[in-house]
Amino acid sequence: MAGEVDLFTSPKVKERILDLLGGGATKLVIDLEHVTFMDSTGLGVLVGALRRLTERGGALALVCPQGPVLRVMEVTGLKKVFDIHDSLDTVVP
């Protein structure tokens, strides 16, 4: 993903995730390295994805290096909820 995730763009992100889940995906890695902004609407989409994946015994990993997106996760406490990695290279499949 790249760009800003807010009230305007988060529905597109949600739709893409639901497409992947509808296609049977159980393990998702979402790369947020190039996301320059995210507010609670984006966080909500990620939490929704995590809930759906957990319900089906799957897993969600996020790639989210230091920056504004990681900061909102820290501030909300969601950093502890998600499986967050510094780079794609460190994501264990």
Partner 1 sequence: MSRGEDTLTLTFPPVPAYVGTARLFVGAVARQYGVDEERVDDLKVAVSEACTSAIRLRGDGEDPVEVVVTTDQASLSVEIPASVEQESDLTEASTTGDLVRSLGMELIRALFPEARTIDGQPAPSISFSLPLS
What is the binding site for partner 1 (CB under 8 A)? 4, 6-8, 37, 39-41, 43-45, 47-48, 51, 68, 71-72, 75-76
Least distance between partner 1 and beta carbon 93 (Å): 27
Least distance between partner 1 and beta carbon 59 (Å): 18
Q: What is the 3-state secondary structure (H, E, C) of the chain?
A: CEEEECCCCHHHHHHHHHHHHHCCCCEEEEECCEEEEECHHHHHHHHHHHHHHHHCCCEEEEECCCCHHHHHHHHHCHHHCCEEECCHHHCCC
Question: Which one, 46 or 61, has the nearer CB to partner 1?
Answer: 46
